[in-house]
Structure 1
Amino acid sequence: MNPPHLYSEAELRGLGFAHVGRDVRLDRSVRLFGIGRISIGDHSRIDPFCVLSAGPDGITIGRNVHVAAYCGMVGRARIELEDFAGLSQRCSLFSSSDDYTGVAMTNPTVPEEFTQATHGAVRLGRHVIIGCGSIVLPGVSIGLGAAVGALSVIRQDVPDFAIMAGNPARKLGERARTMLELEQAYLTSEAAGAG
C-alpha cells in the first residue's frame, strides 16, 4: 500500500499522463502543467514540491530516474531525462529563456511578439547526476554518465562521463564506467524477477 503522500498507481493512470510506467512514486505536492505531454518510466520517483511544466515538445523521464525535492523542469522545448539519471534538490532545467539584454520585454505575462525568448531542448543522458542547486540552460545536452557538482551552471554541452562544476562549469575530471556493468546486472536481475 502506498503512503498517503504518494499517488496510487490507479490515480497516476487517471491523471492524464502521456505515459506512466510501473512503480512510479509521485508525491501529491508535485505541480504538473501540460500533463498530457509528460511521460514517466518504470521505477522513477519525483519528490515533494517539484514543478514540471511541459511545453509543446514535452517532458520525458526514463526508468529509475530520481528527481529530488524542489526541482523544476520548465520551457517550451523538449526536456528529457534518460534512464538512471538523477537531480539533487533544487535543480532547475530550463528549455526556454528570456532575453536579458533589454532589447525585448520579459516574462510570460507579455505577448510573444514583444519578447525574444530562446528555446532549446535539454537532454540528460543515462546515469547523469546533477548536484544540488544546479541550473541547466536551454539547448544543453549532458552526455552519458556525466556528473555536475552542486551550484553549477551548465551553459554548453557536457561530454560523456565528464565531471563538471562551477559557474560557468568547467571539467574537473572523468567518472568511472563501472555503472554501466552494474546497470546490466540490475536489469538482468529485474528481468529474472529479483528487482
Structure 2
Amino acid sequence: MSQLRQHLKYGFGQKWRAFRQKRRLSHLGSRVWIDKNVELMRYPINIRIEDEVVLKEGARICACNDRAKISIGARTTIGYHNFIFASAGIEIGSDCLIAPFVYLVDSDHGIQKDQLINQQPNQTAPIKIANGAWIASNVTILKGVEIGEGAVIAANSVVNRNVPAFEIWGGSPAKKIGERE
C-alpha cells in the first residue's frame, strides 16, 4: 500500500461523497477517495473510475459530450486542482501518479481567420496514459498524445506528441531528457 493510502481515513464525509457519485457514474470502484470540492461534470455517466483511486480536492473531470469517455485505472491518484476534459476520450491506466495542476484536454479549436474561433468546430483525438506513469505538476497534455507505461513527464511540460514507455520527458514542447533505469 502506498504511503498516501496508508493515511487516508474513510470517514462519514468520504463515504457520503462516494455514495452520491456512485449512481451518477458508469462505474465507481471500491474504496475510491473523493475529496471535497471534486466535480464530475456534464456527462458523468461516461466516467469510469476503478478501485482505490484518489481524487484530490479541486479536481474537475468532464466528459464534455454524450460520446466522450473517461476512464481512470485502479490505484491512480489525481492530484489537487487537475482538469481532465474529454471531447473524444481520455484513458488513464492503473497505478499512475498525476500531480497537482495538471491539464489533460483532448481537443482544440480551429483557427481559420475567416471565421470566429468560437464558431469553429473542435478538433479531437483521444489521450491515453499507460499504467504506472508519473505526470509531475503543472503539465499540459494535448489531444492525440499517448504516454507509455512507466513514463515520467517533468514539471511544467507541454506534451504534444507520444512518449515511449519508461522515458523521461520535459520542456515546452516536451522532449526526451532521459530514461528510467
Task: Provide the TM-score with structure 1 as the length reference.
Answer: 0.81
Deviating beyond 2 angstroms after TM superposition, the runs of 4 or more aligned structure 1 residues are 1-14, 99-107
> Are 2:91 and 1:80 aligned?
yes
Runs of at least 5 residues in structure 2 that lack an aligned partner in the other structure: 1-8
Runs of at least 5 residues in structure 1 that lack an aligned partner in the other structure: 108-113, 177-195
Kept in 1, the 8 Å contact 2:49–2:71? The answer is: yes
> Are 2:77 and 1:66 aligned?
yes
The structure with the greater share of residues assigned to strand is: 2
Question: In structure 1, what is the Cα distance between the partners aligned to 2:36 and 2:76?
Answer: 18
- What is the RMSD computed on CA atoms of the aligned residues? 1.7
Kept in 2, the 8 Å contact 1:152–1:165? The answer is: yes
Aligned residues: 169
Give the secondary structure class of the aligned counterpart of 1:89.
coil
Higher CA-based Rg = 1
Deviation at 1:93, TM superposition (A): 0.3
Kept in 1, the 8 Å contact 2:78–2:98? The answer is: yes
> Are 2:132 and 1:127 aligned?
yes
Question: In structure 1, what is the Cα distance between the partners aligned to 2:138 and 2:85?
Answer: 15
Question: In structure 1, what is the Cα distance between the partners aligned to 2:138 and 2:152?
Answer: 14
Measured at CA, do residues 96 and 174 of structure 1 come closer, stay the same or move farther in structure 2, by a change above 3 Å? same
Question: In structure 2, what is the Cα distance between the partners aligned to 1:13 and 1:36?
Answer: 10
Task: Provide the TM-score with structure 2 as the length reference.
Answer: 0.87
Measured at CA, do residues 165 and 103 of structure 1 come closer, stay the same or move farther in structure 2, by a change above 3 Å? farther
2:48 pairs with 39, 49, 60, which one?
39
> Are 2:25 and 1:17 aligned?
yes
Question: In structure 2, what is the Cα distance between the partners aligned to 1:154 and 1:78?
Answer: 17
Deviations 1:19-45 (A, max 9, x none): 011110012311111110000010100
Matched ranges for 1:1-195 at <5 A: 2-3=10-11, 6-8=14-16, 9-14=18-23, 16-33=24-41, 34-55=43-64, 56-100=67-111, 102-107=113-118, 114-176=119-181
